[in-house]
Structure 1
Amino acid sequence: MSRSRFKLTKKKSFYFAIFAVFCYIFFRVEVAVLTPMFSESQLFFKRYLLRTPGCSLPLYDSYHWTVGLSLSEDVPYERSCSVQEPNILAQHFGRIFINASALRRLYNVSQLDTTCYYREVLRNESAREPDNTPMLGPRVPLELGDRLNAEYVQVTCEAHGKSLFKEYFLLPQSKPLATNDTEANGAKPPRNERAMSVLILGVDSTSRMNFHRHMVKTGRYLEAELNAFEFIALNKVEDNTFPNLIPLLTGMSGSEAESVYTRYGKFDPLPLIWNKYKLNGYTTLYMEEWPYTGIFVYSTFPGLMKVPTDYYPTSILRMMDDENLQKKKCMGSRLKTKVLIDYLADVLKLNHERPMFSFVWLTYLTHDNVNGLQLLDDSLELFLRELATYGVLKNTALLFMSDHGLRMGSMSMTEIGRYENKNPFCFLALPKRFLADNPVAAAHLEVNQRRLTTNYDLHATLIALSEWPKFVPNSTDKGLSLFGPIPPERTCADASIPRHFCACLDASRSVNDPKVSLHFALHAVDYVNALAKLHFQESCVVWQLGSVDRASILGRSADDAVQLRVQITTVPEAVFEVYGTLGTLSLSVKSVDLVLRLDKYANQTTCLPRSRWQKICMCKSYLLSRSSTTRETLSLRLGFW
């Protein structure tokens, strides 16, 4: 009997393997062949999500077969944390307690035999890059159960002269209110009890469609309980996080912010939105979950020179990542993201009687995995319910949003994925009294849910909120406040959205002449190779054109040159999307305007220094380490021949 079961199991395994191979081949054929065949038709959508004179957005099926394989991708993060050693310590209202039974079970020692110490995690203000240089304060004996006055701490415990474990804690502490002393420096005390708190809660790389796939409970709570406005046509304005969040935080473009950095050698002079709130007497918080890829350490930038806000846990988050990059998503057996959500809730409850501005950006679970978002649904719904129960949301404007959709991986190589990348989710929930006091603004919000909007508009909206109850929804250089009218005729050009990133349906059509797309694709590969050599000398492989996966004509320029978008696969394997112009008569390439990398490449660029140009490279050392590559193929791909 057991032998027959064994044979049956082997047969099932064999059939499962055949099925898995078939699914993989089917997906590759879909990406390389079927999707381009149908990309210029309306087979993928039959209705419109938005249809105004200025912009039409397609209504796609969120579970269309072309994205099916991507949506089956595993999400191992929570499992990888749960198998870690459980946390021995826990904190509650600034007090740290020990789990005596877990201590006995794991370390075979009693609480009486255990001595614990804490050290403050500090920002090294004398360092060249304070944001990137955490430091520890002196070691202090920890009395378990006593309230600590330290804000960010590292705790170590030992028994019988042997070190047992190390844990980190974020302990919310009250901050001093603005006083006459600070008023002399420009800050004002809170103007009146009607001042409204503002919470910007961001989840990285999350499209509107993916939010509705995975955040069912949170979405239902936002709509049914908080009556949130959903801005379905929020369009990103640039490629990645930095140039999309700079417009939100400053009203400036990413390139304008870089010009400020070039002039002053730091980002501190930027008109960051929390400074405006701080001048109006607000307590402020700024927290990015992933300090290595933070807004102001993007590329080779050094971070901020001065502490920007009252609550700023960058140093402890950086130290935790420095210590164990392989387990950066975990704090012991818990997901770090969930720990930080709990910390945020504690800070907001601690400050619920004073006006507070908070900017929080969560990254780990969603940056690389289209399905990681599902791990946040329960936690964020509970977070919102907890704040509502405590009364925090009665006087808080909640802006819940993302910067863009998923930019890399198999999803981004599909038509639907390319659209999702440009259309991040965005909700705005406002206190009932605000809407009752401002019926005209409420009416505009209702209409503007179905208007083309950007982070420039969100910035103008935040400026208006900072002056509440004095309320004037003025526009800025590039943005229109959501509290005022946004014209239905608005186009991407009107909204300062480059054509490359515009989600609105255009009149693009497939390139009929393969010579045109091939000519441009070959030039694009040469261009990427030249860029790689310019920035990284001889560290990168030499790309060769593998295939032209799709090519579209976007329009014509004033001199009758053709504007193209071409997706190519190279050898060694990488996937690029390239935008540029091509002369119609001589097929001379006028320019390459933008190069995007669609496949995941982080593990291929570890030989490189921190740089925005990593996307154009695959390290030669990475290719050499792949044991399946033959010597001859290596020589060809590395450019030795």
Structure 2
Amino acid sequence: MSDKRPLLDTSDSQAEDDGCNSNSREFSKTTGITYKSTAAAPTVFWYGRQILLRRKLFVGVLVVFIFSYFVIGPADVLDLDSVSGIVQVHHQSNVLDMEGYLVYSNQCRIVDLDPYKREVMRHFKRVSYKPCKQRLPLTQVRYDETTRRYVLSINSTAFEEYPVKHTLSCCYMGVERVSETNVSTTHCQHFKSKAQIANTTDSVIVKCSTERGQIYINGHATIPERTEIRQRLKQWRKQDQGRRVPSVLMIGIDSISRVNLIRAMPKTAQYLYDNDWFELAGYNKIDDNTFPNIMALMTGYNLSNAMKHCNPYVSGGLDKCDFVWKRYKQHGYVTAYGEDAVKINTFNYLKKGFKQPPVDYYLRPYLAAAEKMLDVNMVLGLPHCLGFETESEHVYNYALEFARRYRNESFFGFFWTNTHSHGDISQTSSMDDYLRDYLLRLVAQGTMKHSIVVFFSDHGLRFGPTRSTWSGHLEERLPFLFIWLPPFMRSQHPEFVEALRLNRNRLTTPYDLHLTLKHILTLTGRTNSLETGLDTAKDCPQCQSLLLPVPLNRSCEDVAIADHWCTCWSYDAVYKNSKTIRHLGERVVHYLNDFVTNFRNGSLAHLCQPLALQTITSAYKARIVDTADLSGNQVYWLTFSTSPNQALYEATVRYNKRLPSEENVMVTGSVSRLNSYSGEADCMNDFAIKKYCYCRHKSG
């Protein structure tokens, strides 16, 4: 297949506007950025001048090379053999016969990044897994199939490790949800060697003491038997008339790009590739952070409509939303949701959360109690160890138990972790062995035989030194997504297998995954696509189920991805101090100030200082594959800093030089904040505006 990418306008006037350097070099295709050359008149004077310039250039390049070699490193290519601890992942994710591309069409070309580029690896350091406690937990819980209750007991194997010389006194407290932000505990009930836990109790906190005081505290989350759930499952199972109904298990990890999964968790990634999971290598996020991407996945709404229809700032607002798990519950499924790091939960950070528990089994109350009562250590500002396990392990084990308890029924479980991945490119590497083994545990307990499993992320890392690199720019927009189909579905629907293999190298989005979940529901026979809203994603009319072949010639615009988040284009570096680029930067800052001024009818504007453009850090112009839909616009990507907050921002704009200067720039998507703004906007509790606000009291 030939490369039919049109060349950009290379007229003198355009070159002058963009400030293109005639002596720039072209990057490799894996960077996606190239420098363009412009022509000059062939005169004798020009040739003499060029010889002098070339000599100066040679000396300059030599100096830069020597500096780069000895100070920065010999090249941006890493010799993996010389770096200990790097495990390469063997896979084939490129477009067939098109090495270097994950997606390749007339509308979209997504390059395949090298996970081991020096610009990223210089900031990456593998982290070892460390147990939270040297001792085994003194207590354990198990489900008794005969009594249909959990039994809390002393672990006799661990008992010898504890300083018990005479008497041991243990008791447990049930955790009760008061509201989304408050929990309470029941009176501490004493037990000797074991105790049956009532099915009205979702989770417990256990304490043990000797004559010298408390020696042990731990927590156990459970999936207790519920009569109303069993009745629901039984009623719908009768309608199935022996037909097999797939369960759905979603395991999500915050801020992990496809490339960082390969880099940081190579054993987990290799397991997925080796065991016939279906990769969606062209999976592109649709917005900045977790909330809008998860809302697109779970409701089909973009951020604007999510705020309109299920306002998270109003108590009960999210309860009104048509979440996919509601659909599954309405059609006879048992549902569960668990997420670690209570303060930054997807539906709670600077939001009201749910007035009523959103699912049948809700982990948040237990983790809220555990974070207050158990031993906690913090890593990178988030809870890491929570008692005897990392907080993420509490979520993973809860998901495992949920899937085990209902392995012969129809269930929908959504489980999300933040704590080992949210703020650092390296930290998640500590969980590689655990997660590979976790997937094996799902297999061992039979979950994979009857369940569709979605293993995914929302976006790549959004902050830190790697984010300002070209690799970081692309990684942030390309999270990982793998889907497992159980054997019976592969057998009954070979067309789904073919579609998923084809879609590996197609542009896909969270809206498509939303429609896939709805499509799965129609396969149960408990509903059909004619049910209201079951065949559409509200804010992406052209999106579709991933179990059907996705069109090759999809553009970002086709599937509701704004220019700012689109990874389909390569870019040419342009002169950052040109009049055009300066104008674009000033218009973007003006846009930010207007956004703050008008947000919530101007009610918050008095809290924030106006921003001013400080410097343009870099500027690039998109090399559009097909310009038919741009209507005369050119697309630029800028990084720039502002004062007084010393912020580093990234914006993508459409520029039409034929329009008046006040109208010729349109910001697409939202403006990304690349450096931390912790402490700058503590006067602001609205996540949508926080990264653009510098509180007035900061100036004294």
Same-fold status (TM-score > 0.5)? yes
Is the counterpart of residue 518 in structure 1 residue 577 in structure 2?
no
**Offset from partner CA, 1:523-561 (integer Å, 9 cap, x none):** 544654676686766766775544311123448997866
Structure 2 CA distance for aligned equivalents of residues 82 and 321 of structure 1: 14
1:418 alignment counterpart = 473
1:141 alignment counterpart = 190
Q: What are the equivalent positions in structure 2 for 1:439-450 lying under 5 Å apart?
A: 439-450=494-505
2:116 alignment counterpart = 63
Identify if the C-alpha distance between structure 1 residues 330 and 178 changes in structure 2 by more than 3 Å, giving closer, same or farther: closer
Is the counterpart of residue 453 in structure 1 residue 493 in structure 2?
no
TM-score w.r.t. length of structure 2: 0.74
Indicate the larger mover: 45-54 or 428-437.
45-54
Q: What are the equivalent positions in structure 2 for 1:268-417 lying under 5 Å apart?
A: 268-299=319-350, 301-322=351-372, 327=378, 328-417=383-472
1:229 alignment counterpart = 278
**Offset from partner CA, 1:99-151 (integer Å, 9 cap, x none):** 68978877x544x5232222211111xxxxx2222222233223443332332
Structure 2 CA distance for aligned equivalents of residues 505 and 181 of structure 1: 49
**Offset from partner CA, 1:23-49 (integer Å, 9 cap, x none):** xxxxxxxxxxxxxx8797636368322
Is the counterpart of residue 44 in structure 1 residue 31 in structure 2?
yes
**Offset from partner CA, 1:563-588 (integer Å, 9 cap, x none):** 54321134554311133456637644
1:613 aligned to which of 686, 689, 699: 689
For the residue of structure 1 that corresponds to 2:195, the secondary structure is coil
Letter of the 1:490 partner, please give it.
R
Is 2:223–2:401's contact at 8 Å kept on the other side of the alignment?
Answer: yes
1:113 aligned to which of 167, 188, 193: 167
Structure 2 CA distance for aligned equivalents of residues 502 and 353 of structure 1: 41
Is the counterpart of residue 195 in structure 1 residue 182 in structure 2?
no
More helix by share: 1
1:552 aligned to which of 620, 624, 628: 620
Identify if the C-alpha distance between structure 1 residues 284 and 196 changes in structure 2 by more than 3 Å, giving closer, same or farther: same
Identify if the C-alpha distance between structure 1 residues 502 and 595 changes in structure 2 by more than 3 Å, giving closer, same or farther: same
For the residue of structure 2 that corresponds to 1:408, the secondary structure is coil
1:267 alignment counterpart = 318
Letter of the 2:546 partner, please give it.
L
Indicate the larger mover: 323-332 or 95-104.
95-104
Percent identity (aligned): 25
Identify if the C-alpha distance between structure 1 residues 618 and 69 changes in structure 2 by more than 3 Å, giving closer, same or farther: farther
Is 2:267–2:433's contact at 8 Å kept on the other side of the alignment?
Answer: yes
Letter of the 2:124 partner, please give it.
L
Is 2:233–2:334's contact at 8 Å kept on the other side of the alignment?
Answer: no
2:20 alignment counterpart = none
Letter of the 2:647 partner, please give it.
A
For the residue of structure 2 that corresponds to 1:368, the secondary structure is coil
Q: What are the equivalent positions in structure 2 for 1:72-87 lying under 5 Å apart?
A: 72=125, 75=127, 82=132, 87=137
2:647 alignment counterpart = 574
Indicate the larger mover: 410-419 or 191-200.
191-200
Structure 2 CA distance for aligned equivalents of residues 584 and 188 of structure 1: 66
Unmatched tracts of structure 2, length 5 or more: 1-23, 33-98, 144-149
Identify if the C-alpha distance between structure 1 residues 100 and 503 changes in structure 2 by more than 3 Å, giving closer, same or farther: same
Structure 2 CA distance for aligned equivalents of residues 520 and 61 of structure 1: 31
What's the C-alpha RMSD, in Å, of the aligned pairs?
3.6
Structure 2 CA distance for aligned equivalents of residues 502 and 91 of structure 1: 48
Is 1:178–1:187's contact at 8 Å kept on the other side of the alignment?
Answer: no
For the residue of structure 2 that corresponds to 1:602, the secondary structure is coil
Identify if the C-alpha distance between structure 1 residues 254 and 38 changes in structure 2 by more than 3 Å, giving closer, same or farther: farther
1:595 alignment counterpart = 671
Is 1:202–1:401's contact at 8 Å kept on the other side of the alignment?
Answer: yes
For the residue of structure 1 that corresponds to 2:180, the secondary structure is helix
Is 1:197–1:396's contact at 8 Å kept on the other side of the alignment?
Answer: yes
Unmatched tracts of structure 1, length 5 or more: 1-36, 125-129, 622-637
Indicate the larger mover: 340-349 or 537-546.
537-546
TM-score w.r.t. length of structure 1: 0.80
Is 1:456–1:480's contact at 8 Å kept on the other side of the alignment?
Answer: yes
Is the counterpart of residue 484 in structure 1 residue 548 in structure 2?
yes
Is 1:187–1:278's contact at 8 Å kept on the other side of the alignment?
Answer: no
Is 2:637–2:650's contact at 8 Å kept on the other side of the alignment?
Answer: yes
Structure 2 CA distance for aligned equivalents of residues 419 and 229 of structure 1: 21
For the residue of structure 2 that corresponds to 1:71, the secondary structure is coil
Structure 1 CA distance for aligned equivalents of residues 498 and 630 of structure 2: 41
> Cα offset for 1:244?
0.6
Is 1:114–1:158's contact at 8 Å kept on the other side of the alignment?
Answer: yes
Structure 2 CA distance for aligned equivalents of residues 461 and 339 of structure 1: 28
Is 2:339–2:395's contact at 8 Å kept on the other side of the alignment?
Answer: no
1:131 alignment counterpart = 180
Indicate the larger mover: 263-272 or 284-293.
263-272
Identify if the C-alpha distance between structure 1 residues 170 and 178 changes in structure 2 by more than 3 Å, giving closer, same or farther: closer
> Cα offset for 1:223?
2.8
Is 1:217–1:378's contact at 8 Å kept on the other side of the alignment?
Answer: yes
Letter of the 1:166 partner, please give it.
I
For the residue of structure 1 that corresponds to 2:419, the secondary structure is coil
Letter of the 1:515 partner, please give it.
K
For the residue of structure 2 that corresponds to 1:70, the secondary structure is coil
1:33 alignment counterpart = none
Indicate the larger mover: 362-371 or 215-224.
215-224
Structure 1 CA distance for aligned equivalents of residues 631 and 269 of structure 2: 48
1:249 alignment counterpart = 298
Is 1:521–1:548's contact at 8 Å kept on the other side of the alignment?
Answer: yes
Is 1:178–1:189's contact at 8 Å kept on the other side of the alignment?
Answer: no
> Cα offset for 1:165?
4.6
For the residue of structure 1 that corresponds to 2:615, the secondary structure is strand
For the residue of structure 2 that corresponds to 1:374, the secondary structure is helix
Structure 2 CA distance for aligned equivalents of residues 40 and 546 of structure 1: 28
Identify if the C-alpha distance between structure 1 residues 215 and 338 changes in structure 2 by more than 3 Å, giving closer, same or farther: same
**Offset from partner CA, 1:232-285 (integer Å, 9 cap, x none):** 001111111111111211222222121112499511222211122112221111
For the residue of structure 2 that corresponds to 1:344, the secondary structure is helix
**Offset from partner CA, 1:305-358 (integer Å, 9 cap, x none):** 222212111112123335587632211243121232222212211211111111
Letter of the 2:565 partner, please give it.
F
Structure 1 CA distance for aligned equivalents of residues 635 and 689 of structure 2: 24
Indicate the larger mover: 281-290 or 575-584.
575-584
Letter of the 1:66 partner, please give it.
E
Identify if the C-alpha distance between structure 1 residues 147 and 217 changes in structure 2 by more than 3 Å, giving closer, same or farther: farther
